């Protein structure tokens, strides 16, 4: 295919996607078309946000090979920053009913996009502080160090009553997020990261993942590359956190503990630690399954038999799935490569040929 | 801060520290051989506690048999985990096995929530350890359990050191820790040695868990997570892979934790963070820990 | 290997596609109007509580009360009332999902829940957008109902609860100094401690009456450092709001360190496990809560206690009683408004006045909070003993 054909094809896909999003969000009501119910929209929004978070974690864990467990901390920073910058002064006064918010933040309200970007920037700032000591460590130590920093960040947020309202949390965050935002940011992130990873910088990151000493011998500045990757990853995580805050309209420090990082990690491993489209796919699947598996927690009546619901079984299934995936399918869904219709068709063709040859 | 107050704090610190030390030993043993942070170690703690709870509550076994049963079952759990989740990944990159460890940890915790219920339960204590049974030394009050823990820790430490230094299995363990491949070439069954290490580590975790529950008689499925992490930090602090280092690390961590809250009560909400700060500081200044040895990285 | 991977991909894609298409095949609704009521044969009420996770105990206790109420009063306006329970796993995001699901898919006309103020706030946002009324049984954070015309509650709020215990400390225990040890991770504890401090300082007239405020995190087990400091200060009372598990351990350690000052707390201590874990140490621990079997002797509360004992074979607790009341309040609203329509129910709920519930007389004030009395319980001989009722002031 010539480049022109490719861009036409991409253009058509993009157009179809836009129409799909508009239809789903009910935005086509003006022309009399109704969209999905808000439950489905909510799930798809969550899918988008999880995709953003998964891709950002994949960048540092999967592509650069630096095992970071600090994602929840950066999400928290992004979420709180975005929330504080989008809440209006009246809401702030009401929410900070115990200790008033510090004066500079009281009347500060910015448009959503600015707040999101600021949230990402703050997360990146914290990442710089975290990265300097942590990125000098390797493997397990890096994991524990980043885990520790995430917990420290969370504790700081929990104790800084005058800035974050501490344990009381924030409510009334304007719900600016909708399908356009979530799918849009997910798409932007994908395109951005894909371009980054196909550049020489991306190749340098992969080489660091494969063999750090060899990469260093080839003249790659390890610390600089790791740090930049870490900063970008945290920036995107911060943006994802901001989107989450706007979707939930209420946040508190307790939701940013390690289980949140675990969920994102699970998604990344499931999708393949070196595949962006794998992360997107896995995010969609995991978000969907989380809701779908409610079925095992509700009582089921099969004829005369009533099987009582077993609450908590969902997380057992997920943890079990993670272990199974990591042992038997360590490459995840898409392993190292990206999703492409061509590859799928090739596999299919090969499978059919093999079948035919066997016969 | 009066001198009495200081001594009371010190007594508390030693009590907490010896508990950390006991659990840190298990961590360090496994790490020394497999180079793996066994995230599930903390959850083995929890398993042992629940076994004792149910053994005494449902089957009405007296204390010692319950403890014995708990140790056996926890060791079995540990060995099964190693066999099922860690052995297949022995040749995989480190991050994979770490993810597997995290997954197992969450699996154990969530299974416990499903099977035992999420509500905290009261741990049954024998009479001589129950509340009110404390000794007075001057102005300082020390619970009976506080005497028991260091005794148990030191005893087990001696037993462990004897096994590692003076028996053939111990020698094999040291060999595998030093060099996997060469040990295998020497005819050592590496799989068996690893299983032995895991059982020893798990048994220690079981005892640690039971002692922990005796000191803090409230058990719940998530009780092992924080202690597990802190004890790992203690092990790293003292020098990972080094048993004496783990003990030292445990005591230091316990003392620092208590003393910081004692001298700066305003930061008592940040207590857990200090453990992490210590870890990060240590890793930057002296990554091999207090008593650790330098390991050159072979290319 | 490739085949396996390819097949997995196809299956999963089909899954996702099917679900996506499945969603759209349901009757789509425009966003602005509230949910249309279900067919007239039954009235659906949604319940979202934490049945798992760290607040599972509270959620389960509340559900027992709601379910009992449904059993005793299964009908209103000639129609059957059906409960739909969703577990929010003590997770905010889940709470919002639960409420969305209840409204969109189960088409409930009213919602009961949740134990845990932060969860209620998350769910409340959805109720506000979709205009479906919700009644909280036990969340005490003022923010739950603030600025949300669709959220009500049948319990008092923390500002009142804090004052109740402060008044008890100063008037009954004649305390002049106090110390606060609070769970800094829990919005409930932080709020309650704050209101207690305000009231205590005001009542004693001494701005330094609270000698110190110490903190800990949920799940902490070792309080010896904080308690040693407290012992050296020798306060008259210790106010320690937090989960019953952590508090029980704390009191045990305090008694071992020879701290004999009375411990005061809030309604989270009302669980039989409190005495289980605390044993003799918690004798004398006093706390405020919403309800006691001994407190109210009304017809409806006698009926409740009898039914509860028959059904569950144990004494009822405040959370079950509140759940019971929440259900009854909604039923009353449906009866008064004459139809099972969310807007009508909301209107009727706002006007709830003098409703005689199990936990006392419920009147919704302008913030949709129940202006109610609190009871003070004390642990005596391994049981909760009723001390006194405190009217709103």
Do residue C217 and residue B132 have CB atoms under 8 angstroms apart?
A: no
How many distinct structural domains can be found in chain B?
A: 1
The first and second tokens of residue B109, run together, are 């915790």
**B298 falls within a domain:** no
Place of tokens 């040291």: B174
Q: Is C85 on the interface with B (CB under 8 A)?
A: no
C-alpha angle A114/A117/A123, rounded to 5°? 140
C328 and C256 assigned to the same domain? no
Establish if C180 touches chain A: CB-CB under 8 angstroms.
no
In angstroms, the CA C269 to CA C249 distance is 12
**Over the Cα atoms of chain A, what is R_g?**
22
* pLDDT tens track for C243-294: 888 899 899 888 888 888 999 998 888 887 888 888 888 888 999 988 887 7
CATH classification at residue C82:
3.40.50.2300
Q: According to the model, what pLDDT value does residue B136 have?
A: 73
List, for residues C308-365, the tens digit of each pLDDT value: 989 888 888 888 999 999 999 999 999 888 888 899 999 998 888 888 888 888 888 8
Which of B203-207, C22-26, C220-224, C362-366 comes out lowest in average pLDDT?
Answer: C22-26
User: Tokens in use for A260?
Assistant: 């949140």
Which pLDDT does position A246 carry in this prediction?
A: 92
Subunits with 3+ Cβ pairs within 8 Å of B are: A, C
pLDDT tens-place string over residues C51-64 = 877 787 788 889 99
| pLDDT surpasses 90 at A126 | yes
Chain A (109-168) residues lying within 8 Å, Cβ to Cβ, of chain C: 158-159, 166-168
- State the pLDDT confidence band at A29, using cuts at 50, 70 and 90: low
Domain co-membership, C301 together with C220: no
Residue C8 lies in a domain: no
Judgement on whether residues C107 and C198 belong to the same structural domain of the protein: no
In whole numbers, what is the pLDDT of chain B averaged over residues? Answer: 84
User: For residue A88, which of A162, A170, A173, A164 has the smallest C-alpha distance?
Assistant: A173
Considering the domain architecture, whether residues C269 and C238 belong to the same structural domain is answered as yes
- What pLDDT shows up at residue B129? 64
Mean per-residue pLDDT, C127-149: 89
A179-204 mean pLDDT: 89
| Neighboring chain A residues of C29 at a CB cutoff of 8 Å | 34, 37-38
State residue A19's pLDDT score.
77
Q: Which of A62-66, C89-93, C192-196 has the lowest mean pLDDT?
A: C89-93
Q: What is the mean pLDDT of chain C?
A: 83
pLDDT > 90 in chain C, percent? 18
For residue C214, the distance in angstroms to the closest alpha carbon of chain A comes to 12
- Helices and strands, number each (H, E), in chain B: 11, 4
On the 0-12 / 13-18 / 19+ scale of CB atoms within 10 A, A259 is middle
Chain B touched by C228 (CB under 8 Å): yes
Instruction: Give the nearest chain C residue to A343 (CA atoms).
Output: C6
Indicate the domain borders of chain A. 1-35, 37-299+308-358
Interface check for B231 against chain A (CB to CB < 8 A): the answer is no
Given a contact cutoff of 8 angstroms between Cβ atoms, the answer to whether C164 and C288 are in contact is yes
Q: Would you say the C-alpha torsion C54, C58, C61, C64 has a positive or negative sign?
A: negative
Instruction: Give the chain B residue whose CA is nearest to the CA of C57.
Output: B119
Nearest by CB to residue A169, choosing from C5, C16, C118, is C118
Tokens 């690390």 sit on residue: B249
What range does the domain containing B45 cover? 3-285
Instruction: Give the pLDDT confidence score for residue C25 in this predicted structure.
Output: 34
Please tell me which chains touch C, using 3 or more CB pairs under 8 Å as the contact test.
A, B
- C305 and C275 in a common domain: no
| Among A258, A293, A326, A336, the residue to mutate for chain B (most B Cβ within 10 A) | A326
Q: Are residues C218 and C280 in the same domain?
A: yes
CA distance B218 to chain A (A): 21
Residues C48 and C113 in one domain: yes
- Flag if B284 and A133 touch (Cβ within 8 Å): yes
B99 touches chain A (CB under 8 A): yes
pLDDT surpassing 80 at residue B118: no
Confidence at A325, pLDDT banded by 50, 70, 90: confident
Q: Kindly tell me if the per-residue pLDDT of A83 is higher than 90.
A: yes
- CB pair distance less than 8 Å for B141 and C216: no
Q: Chain C: nearest CA to B122, how far in angstroms?
A: 5
What phi and psi, each to the nearest 5 degrees, are found at residue A331?
Answer: -85, 0
> Does the residue C18 lie in any domain?
no
* pLDDT attached to residue A100: 82
Q: Is the pLDDT of residue A123 over 90?
A: yes
Q: Alpha helices of chain A — where are they, by DSSP H?
A: 3-24, 38-58, 71-86, 89-95, 103-106, 112-134, 139-159, 161-164, 179-198, 200-210, 212-217, 222-248, 258-271, 276-292, 294-297, 313-328, 341-358
Q: How far is CA A225 from CA A131, A235, A338, in A?
A: 12, 15, 23
Cα separation, B5 vs B10, in Å, equals 9
Pick the CATH number of A37-299+308-358 from 1.10.20, 1.10.3470, 1.20.120, 1.10.10: 1.10.3470
Which of A148, A158, A326 comes nearest B276 by C-beta?
A148
Distance from CA of A136 to the nearest CA of B (A): 8
Contacts of A152 (CB under 8 A, 6+ apart): A73, B273, B276, B277
Is the CB of C245 less than 8 angstroms away from the CB of B130? no
Measure in Å the smallest separation between the Cα of B147 and chain C Cα atoms: 14
DSSP B39: T
Kindly state the average pLDDT of the residues C302-308.
Answer: 88
The answer to whether position B28 is within a domain reads yes
- B130 pLDDT higher than 70: no
The answer on C169 and C278 residing in a single domain is yes
- The whole-angstrom separation of Cα B180 and Cα B188 is 10
The larger pLDDT score, comparing residue A305 to residue C363, is at C363
Does residue B299 lie within any of the structural domains? no
CATH of residue B274's domain is 1.10.3470
- Looking at residue C12, its pLDDT comes to 52
Q: Where are the beta strands (DSSP E) in B154-294?
A: 218-219
Q: Residue C28's pLDDT band (boundaries 50, 70, 90)? A: very low
Highest mean pLDDT among A72-86, A336-350, B128-142, C47-61: A72-86
Q: Do B218 and C228 touch (CB under 8 A)?
A: no
- Type and span of the H or E element at A307: strand A305-307
Residue B223 preceded by cis peptide, ω within 30: no
**Residue showing tokens 């209103």:** C76
User: Any CB–CB contact under 8 A between A174 and chain C?
Assistant: no
**What is the pLDDT, as a whole number, of residue C20?**
47
CB C308 within 8 Å of CB C62: no
| Global pTM value | 0.86
Please give the residue of chain B at the shortest CA–CA distance from A64.
Answer: B95
Q: Are residues C211 and C262 in the same domain?
A: yes
Average pLDDT value over all residues in chain A: 84
The size of the A-B interface in CB pairs under 8 A is 113
Distance of CA B183 to the CA centre of its chain: 27
In tens, the pLDDT along A87-106 reads 888 888 888 887 888 888 88
pLDDT in tens, B57-83: 887 778 888 889 999 999 999 999 999
Looking at the predicted structure, is the pLDDT value of residue C13 above 60?
A: no
Residue A201 pLDDT grade (very low, low, confident, very high; cuts 50, 70, 90) = very high
CB nearest C51 (choices: A40, A311, A351): A311
Q: For residue C183, give its domain range.
A: 159-289
Q: Print the SS3 string covering chain C.
A: CHHHHHHHHHHHHHHHHHHHHHHHHCCCCCCCCCCCCCCCCEEEEEEEECCCCCCHHHHHHHHHHHHHHHHHCCEECCEEEEEEEEECCCCHHHHHHHHHHHHHCCCCCEEEECCCHHHHHHHHHHHHHHCCCEEECCCCCHHHCCCCCCEEECCCCHHHHHHHHHHHHHHHCCCCCEEEEEECCCHHHHHHHHHHHHHHHHHHCCCCCEEEEEEECCCCCCCHHHHHHHHHHCCCEEECCCCHHHHHHHHHHHHHCCCCCCEEECHHHCCCHHHHHHHHHHCCCEEEECCCCCCCCCHHHHHHHHHHHHHHCCCCCHHHHHHHHHHHHHHHHHHHHCCCCHHHHHHHHHCCCCEEECCEEECECCCCCECCCEEEEEEECCEEEEEEEECCC
What integer pLDDT is reported at residue C4 of this predicted model? 52
Q: Which residues of A touch B (CB under 8 A)?
A: 61, 65, 67, 133-134, 136-137, 139-141, 143-145, 147-149, 151-152, 155, 158-159, 213, 258-259, 262, 265-266, 269, 273, 310-313, 315-316, 318-320, 322-323, 326-327, 330
CA distance C185 to chain B (A): 8
**Band of pLDDT at residue A303, cut at 50, 70 and 90:** low
**Helix crossing, B144-166 with B243-263: angle to 10°?**
160
Residue C156 has which token pair? 């008092």
Question: What percent of chain B has a predicted confidence (pLDDT) above 70?
Answer: 93
Mean pLDDT of B269-278: 82
Q: What percent of chain A stands above pLDDT 70?
A: 87
Domain contains B292: no
pLDDT band at A230 (very low <50, low <70, confident <90, very high): very high
- B109 CB contacts (<8 Å, ≥6 apart)? B43, B46, B221, B222, B224, B225
Are the beta carbons of A168 and C187 separated by less than 8 Å? yes
What was the pLDDT predicted at A84? Answer: 92
Kindly tell me if the per-residue pLDDT of A56 is higher than 50: yes
When comparing pLDDT for B91 and A237, which is higher?
A237
- The pLDDT tens digits of the residues spanning C69-106 come to 998 888 888 888 888 888 888 888 889 888 998 998 88
Biggest alpha carbon distance in chain A?
78
What was the pLDDT predicted at A204? 92
Q: Which letter does DSSP use for residue A102 in this model?
A: P
Residue of A283 and B297 predicted with greater confidence: A283
Touching A: B residues 137-176, CB under 8 Å: none
Q: Span A111-133, mean pLDDT?
A: 93
Task: Give a yes or no: residue B296 inside a domain.
Answer: no
Give the pLDDT band (50/70/90) at residue A296: low
Q: Which of residues 290-329 of A touch C (CB under 8 A)?
A: 291-292, 294, 297, 311-312, 329
Whole-number pLDDT of residue A3:
63
At residue A297, the pLDDT reads 65
- Burial grade of A184 (CB within 10 A; 0-12, 13-18, 19 or more): middle
What is the tally of structural domains in chain C?
A: 2
| Nearest-by-Cβ selection for A159 from C6, C105, C184 | C184
Taking only residues 86 to 125 of chain C, the set having a beta carbon closer than 8 angstroms to any beta carbon of chain A reads 86-87, 89, 91-93, 96-97, 100-101, 104-105, 118, 121-122, 125
Chain B: closest CA distance from residue A169 (Å): 16
Between residues A306 and B240, the one the model is more confident about: B240
Does C248 contact B at CB distance below 8 Å? yes
Percent of chain A with pLDDT over 90: 32
Determine the distance in angstroms separating the CA of A138 from the nearest CA of chain C, rounded to an integer. 30
Q: Are residues C317 and C237 in the same domain?
A: no
Q: What is the pLDDT of residue B245?
A: 87
> How far is C-alpha B102 from the chain's CA centre?
16
Of A149, A265, A320, the CB nearest to B99: A265
Residues 6+ apart with CB under 8 A from B58: none
For residue A99, give the DSSP letter.
Answer: S
One DSSP character per residue, B108-120 reads HHHHHHHHH-SS-
Joined together, the tokens standing for residue A248 give 């939930």
Q: Are residues C303 and C340 in the same domain?
A: yes
Residue B12 pLDDT > 70, yes or no? yes
CA dihedral for A13, A14, A15, A17, sign (positive or negative): positive
Residues of A whose CB is below 8 A from B82? none
Across residues B264-278, what is the average pLDDT? 80
The Cα A353–Cα A334 span in angstroms is 22
Cα separation, B287 vs B280, whole angstroms? 9
B156-206 per-position pLDDT tens digit: 888 888 888 888 888 888 888 888 888 888 888 888 898 998 999 899 999
Give A270-295 pLDDT, tens digit per residue: 888 888 888 999 999 999 888 887 76
**What does the radius of gyration of chain C's CA atoms come to, in whole angstroms?**
23
Q: How far apart are CA B291 and CA B241, in angstroms?
A: 10
Give chain B's contact residues with C (Cβ, < 8 Å).
Answer: 2, 5, 8-9, 12, 15-16, 113, 117-122, 130-132, 134, 141, 143, 212, 215-218, 220, 222-223, 226, 257-259, 261-262, 265, 268-269, 271-272
The CA-atom distances, in angstroms, between A60 and each of A198, B102, C223, C375 are 15, 18, 38, 55
Nearest 10 degrees: CA dihedral of B132, B136, B140, B142?
-50
| Predicted pLDDT of residue C53 | 73
Bridge partner residues of C264 (DSSP) = C239, C286
């Amino acid at each position: 295919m010539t480049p022109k054909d490719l861009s036409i094809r991409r253009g058509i896909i993009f157009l179809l996607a836009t129409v799909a999003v508009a239809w789903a969000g009910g935005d086509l009501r003006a022309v009399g078309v109704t969209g999905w119910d808000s439950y489905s929209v909510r799930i798809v929004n969550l899918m988008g946000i999880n995709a953003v978070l998964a891709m950002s974690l994949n960048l540092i864990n999967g592509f650069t090979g630096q095992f970071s467990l600090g994602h929840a901390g950066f999400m928290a920073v992004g979420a709180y920053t975005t929330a504080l910058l989008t809440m209006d002064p009246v809401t702030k006064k009401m929410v900070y009913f115990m200790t008033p918010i510090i004066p500079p933040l009281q009347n500060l309200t910015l448009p959503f996009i600015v707040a999101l970007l600021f949230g990402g920037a703050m997360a990146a700032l914290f990442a710089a502080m975290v990265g300097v000591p942590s990125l000098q460590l390797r493997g397990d130590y890096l994991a524990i160090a980043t885990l520790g920093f995430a917990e420290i960040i969370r504790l700081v947020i929990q104790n800084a009553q005058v800035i974050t309202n501490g344990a009381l949390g924030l409510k009334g965050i304007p719900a600016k997020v909708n399908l356009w935002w979530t799918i849009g940011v997910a798409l932007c992130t994908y395109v951005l990261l894909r371009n980054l990873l196909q550049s020489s910088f991306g190749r340098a990151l992969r080489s660091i993942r494969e063999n750090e000493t060899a990469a260093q011998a080839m003249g790659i500045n390890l610390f600089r590359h790791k740090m930049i990757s870490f900063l970008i990853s945290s920036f995107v995580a911060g943006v994802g956190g901001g989107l989450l805050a706007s979707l939930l309209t209420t946040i508190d420090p307790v939701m940013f503990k390690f289980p949140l990082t675990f969920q994102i990690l699970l998604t990344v491993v499931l999708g393949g630690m070196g595949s962006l489209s794998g992360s997107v796919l896995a995010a969609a699947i995991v978000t969907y399954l989380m809701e779908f598996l409610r079925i095992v927690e509700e009582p089921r009546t099969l004829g005369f038999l009533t099987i009582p619901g077993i609450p908590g079984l969902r997380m057992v299934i997920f943890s079990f799935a993670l272990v199974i995936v990591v042992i038997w399918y360590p490459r995840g869904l898409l392993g190292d490569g990206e999703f492409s219709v061509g590859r799928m068709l090739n596999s299919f063709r090969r499978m059919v040929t093999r079948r035919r040859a066997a016969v | 801060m009066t001198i009495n107050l200081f001594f009371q704090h010190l007594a508390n610190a030693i009590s907490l520290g010896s508990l950390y030390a006991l659990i840190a030993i298990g961590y360090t043993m496994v790490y020394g051989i497999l180079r793996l942070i066994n995230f599930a170690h903390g959850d083995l703690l929890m398993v042992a506690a629940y076994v004792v709870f149910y053994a005494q509550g449902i089957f009405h076994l007296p204390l010692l048999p319950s403890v014995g049963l708990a140790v056996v079952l926890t060791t079995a759990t540990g060995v099964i985990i190693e066999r099922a989740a860690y052995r297949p990944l022995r040749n995989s990159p480190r991050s994979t096995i770490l993810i597997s460890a995290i997954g197992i940890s969450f699996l154990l915790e969530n299974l416990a929530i499903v099977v035992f219920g999420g509500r905290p339960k009261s741990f049954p204590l024998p009479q001589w350890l129950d509340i009110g049974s404390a000794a007075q030394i001057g102005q300082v009050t020390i619970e009976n359990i506080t005497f028991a823990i260091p005794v148990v820790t030191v005893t087990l430490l001696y037993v462990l050191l004897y096994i590692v230094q003076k028996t053939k299995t111990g020698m094999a363990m040291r060999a595998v820790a030093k060099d996997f491949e060469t040990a295998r070439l020497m005819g050592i069954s590496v799989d068996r040695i690893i299983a032995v290490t895991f059982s020893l580590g798990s048994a220690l975790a079981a005892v640690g868990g039971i002692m922990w529950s005796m000191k803090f008689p409230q058990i719940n499925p998530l009780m092992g997570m924080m202690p597990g992490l802190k004890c790992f930090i203690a092990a790293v602090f003292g020098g990972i892979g080094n048993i004496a280092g783990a003990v030292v690390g445990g005591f230091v961590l316990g003392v620092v934790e208590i003393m910081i809250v004692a001298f700066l009560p305003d930061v008592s909400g940040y207590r857990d963070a200090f453990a992490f700060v210590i870890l990060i500081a240590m890793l930057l200044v002296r990554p091999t820990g207090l008593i650790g040895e330098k390991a050159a990285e072979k290319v | 290997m490739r085949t396996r991977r390819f097949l997995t991909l196809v299956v999963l894609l089909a899954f996702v596609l099917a679900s996506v298409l499945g969603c759209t095949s349901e009757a789509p609704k425009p966003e602005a109007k509230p949910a249309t009521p279900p067919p007239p044969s039954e009235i659906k009420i949604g319940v979202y509580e934490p049945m798992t996770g760290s607040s599972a105990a509270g959620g389960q206790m509340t559900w027992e009360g709601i379910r009992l109420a449904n059993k005793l009063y299964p009908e209103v306006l000639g129609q059957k009332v059906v409960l739909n329970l969703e577990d929010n796993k003590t997770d905010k995001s889940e709470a919002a999902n639960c409420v969305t699901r209840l409204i969109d898919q189960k088409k409930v006309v009213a919602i009961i829940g949740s134990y845990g103020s932060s969860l209620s706030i998350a769910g409340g946002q959805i109720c506000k957008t979709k205009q479906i009324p919700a009644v909280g049984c036990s969340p005490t954070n003022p923010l739950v109902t603030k600025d949300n015309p669709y959220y009500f509650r049948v319990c008092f709020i923390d500002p009142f609860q804090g004052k109740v215990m402060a008044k008890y400390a100063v008037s009954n225990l004649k305390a002049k100094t106090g110390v606060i040890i609070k769970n800094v991770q829990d919005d409930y504890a932080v709020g309650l401690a704050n209101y207690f401090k305000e009231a205590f300082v005001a009542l004693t007239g001494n701005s330094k009456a609270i000698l110190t405020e110490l903190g800990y995190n949920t799940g902490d087990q070792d309080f010896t450092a904080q308690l040693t400091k407290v012992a050296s200060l020798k306060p008259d009372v210790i106010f320690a709001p937090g989960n019953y598990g952590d508090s029980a351990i704390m009191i045990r350690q305090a008694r071992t360190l020879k701290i004999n000052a009375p411990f005061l707390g809030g309604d989270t201590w009302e669980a039989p496990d409190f005495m289980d874990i605390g044993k003799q140490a918690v004798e004398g621990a006093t706390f405020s809560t919403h309800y006691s079997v001994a407190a109210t002797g009304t017809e409806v509360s006698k009926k409740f206690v009898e039914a509860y004992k028959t059904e569950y074979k144990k004494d009822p607790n405040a959370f079950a009683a509140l759940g019971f009341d929440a259900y009854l309040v909604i039923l009353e609203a449906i009866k008064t408004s004459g139809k099972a329509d969310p807007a009508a129910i909301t209107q009727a709920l706002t006007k709830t006045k003098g409703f005689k519930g199990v936990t006392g007389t419920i009147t919704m004030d302008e913030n949709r909070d129940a202006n109610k009395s609190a009871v003070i319980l004390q642990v005596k001989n391994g049981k909760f003993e009723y001390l006194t009722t405190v009217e709103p002031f």
